[in-house]
């Protein structure tokens, strides 16, 4: 089986110019930002090299990307969104901020579920929205759930919108159909607008089912229907095919969100890159065999990480994620304080994300990106353990 995560040597990777490879000096092993150590999938490489040969470097046009997404979603999740309700945005975070501008006002409360992707805090603050934190409920074993009672309290207290991340970064949780329907019910009761970030959905592991939020419309009760119809969803090929620097994502509006969708200026799409569109279309149309190989590698790595931690750092609590290439490691029993990542970097020369950047519940945690070779996953844990000596 071709192995996307072991195709590149560390020497090759160090020649990269991306955030992952230029942030730290060469004696640091970077396992932080959500990039993957893979070559491009062949169909993407071919599409981009054709575009390069043509000098096709003008402004982005959506082209057939909406249809490519619809077909991908039908094959993968058994549900086809309406391509007429799909808009091109530069990236998921731009899409989130544009939707919040359209459906909320400055000062309005927006609910998020820490520990969660750090730009949810910074970008919402920058957009003058008020953060309303409803932490996930952790079971201690590394398993996390939505706090439905906490959500109801936040909605009842006047929050206007809820930014839900599913699959969830950094915990790797995939929320169930029942949990999502319960969210819709509560949002309907309190008139809260729903934004769902599904960027990690293609990286859901076999045996776990990702439920696209808008697909719930067909099975919703009348009390759940309106909140789903008025929801927005953000998707992208950028995580699963490592295209983040090319800039393209899709904003999906429910059938009750048309009036809001038209209020988002059309030229928002010019922040997207044409190479992002071309690469994403190739990924969604022809990239599933590569994705299957990638998921096999990632599946092996999430299990390898469990074995390595049990052997070298048994105090760390780790539940292999149900989706994503991110491991959320509870390091509180290591005695390294609120920011174990600082010690791992300083003494172990390995860069993982500081958990506290994901909100207060992340204190004492780190996020470990295992989208690399088995060899470098092993080296990463070796360096973390070395930091403790
Ligand atoms: C949950 C989540 N949302 C959004 C993003 C950022 O996506 P984009 O680069 O499309 O803004 C990431 C990146 O890792 C992410 O994990």
Residue 2 has pLDDT above 80, yes or no: no
- pLDDT tens profile 190-208: 999 999 999 999 999 999 9
- pLDDT tens profile 258-287: 999 999 998 999 999 999 999 999 999 999
- Average pLDDT estimate for 60-67: 97
- Rounded CA gap, 35 and 353, in Å? 13
Q: What does DSSP assign to residue 322?
A: S
pLDDT (0 to 100) of residue 85: 97
Cα separations in angstroms, 124 against 31, 112, 146, 190, 272: 26, 10, 20, 21, 20
Q: Closest residue (by CA) to atom 7 of ligand 1?
A: 92
Three state DSSP letters for 149-216? HHHHHHHHCCCCEEEEECCCCCCCCCCCHHHHHHHHHHHHHHCCEEEEECCCHHHECCCCCCCCHHHH
pLDDT (0 to 100) of residue 206: 96
Report yes or no: 119 and 93 within 8 Å, Cβ to Cβ: yes
pTM assigned to the model: 0.98
- Average pLDDT estimate for 19-25: 98
Q: How would residue 333 be classed by pLDDT, with cut points 50, 70 and 90?
A: very high
Pairing mode of beta strands 365-369, 326-330: antiparallel
96, 169, 172, 232: which to mutate for ligand 1, most atoms within 8 A of CB?
A: 169
C-alpha 173 – ligand 1 centre gap (Å): 15
C-alpha 19 – ligand 1 centre gap (Å): 14
Give the count of beta carbons closer than 10 Å to the beta carbon of residue 105: 10
- Rounded CA gap, 349 and 56, in Å? 41
C-alpha 213 – ligand 1 centre gap (Å): 17
Atom of ligand 1 nearest to the CA of 236: 10
- Average pLDDT estimate for 110-139: 97
Q: How would residue 251 be classed by pLDDT, with cut points 50, 70 and 90?
A: very high
Atom of ligand 1 nearest to the CA of 168: 1
Residue 59 has pLDDT above 70, yes or no: yes
What is the average pLDDT value for the chain, to the nearest integer? Answer: 97
Please give the share of the chain, as a percent, with pLDDT higher than 90: 98
Residue 209 has pLDDT above 80, yes or no: yes
- Rounded CA gap, 78 and 58, in Å? 34
C-alpha 311 – ligand 1 centre gap (Å): 32
Atom of ligand 1 nearest to the CA of 94: 11
- pLDDT tens profile 24-42: 999 999 999 999 999 999 9
- Average pLDDT estimate for 134-156: 96
Q: How would residue 139 be classed by pLDDT, with cut points 50, 70 and 90?
A: confident
Q: How would residue 1 be classed by pLDDT, with cut points 50, 70 and 90?
A: low
């Amino acid at each position: 089986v071709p192995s996307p995560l072991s195709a590149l040597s560390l020497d090759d990777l160090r020649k990269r110019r991306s955030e992952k490879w230029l942030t730290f000096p060469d004696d640091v092993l970077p396992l932080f930002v959500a990039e993957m150590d893979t070559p491009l999938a062949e169909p993407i490489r071919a599409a981009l090299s054709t575009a390069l040969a043509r000098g096709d470097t003008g402004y982005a046009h959506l082209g057939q990307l909406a249809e490519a997404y619809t077909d991908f979603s039908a094959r993968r999740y058994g549900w086809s969104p309406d391509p007429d309700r799909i808009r091109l945005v530069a990236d998921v975070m731009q899409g989130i901020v544009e939707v919040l501008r359209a459906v909320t006002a400055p000062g309005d409360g927006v609910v998020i579920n820490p520990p969660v992707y750090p730009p949810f805090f910074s970008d919402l603050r920058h957009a003058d929205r008020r953060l309303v934190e409803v932490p996930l409920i952790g079971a201690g074993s590394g398993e996390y759930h939505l706090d439905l009672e906490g959500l109801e309290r936040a909605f009842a207290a006047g929050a206007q919108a809820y930014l839900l991340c599913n699959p969830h970064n950094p915990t790797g949780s995939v929320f169930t159909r029942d949990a999502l329907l319960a969210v819709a019910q509560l949002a309907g009761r309190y008139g809260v607008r729903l934004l769902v970030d599904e960027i990690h959905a293609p990286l859901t592991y076999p045996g776990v089912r990702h439920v696209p939020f808008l697909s719930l419309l067909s099975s919703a009760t009348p009390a759940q229907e309106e909140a789903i119809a008025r929801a927005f969803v953000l998707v992208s090929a950028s995580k699963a095919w490592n295209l983040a620097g090319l800039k393209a994502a899709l904003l999906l509006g429910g059938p009750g969100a048309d009036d809001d969708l038209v209020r988002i200026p059309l030229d928002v799409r010019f922040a997207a890159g044409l190479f992002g569109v071309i690469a994403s279309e190739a990924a969604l149309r022809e990239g599933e065999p590569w994705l299957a190989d990638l998921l096999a590698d990632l599946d092996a790595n999430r299990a390898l990480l469990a074995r390595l931690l049990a052997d070298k750092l048994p105090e760390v609590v780790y539940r292999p994620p149900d989706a994503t290439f991110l491991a959320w490691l509870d390091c509180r029993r290591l005695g390294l304080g609120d920011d174990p990542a600082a010690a791992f970097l300083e003494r172990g020369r390995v860069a993982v994300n500081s958990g506290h950047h994901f909100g207060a519940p992340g204190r004492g945690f780190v996020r470990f990106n295992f989208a690399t070779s088995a060899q470098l996953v092993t080296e990463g844990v070796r360096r973390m353990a070395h930091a403790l000596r």
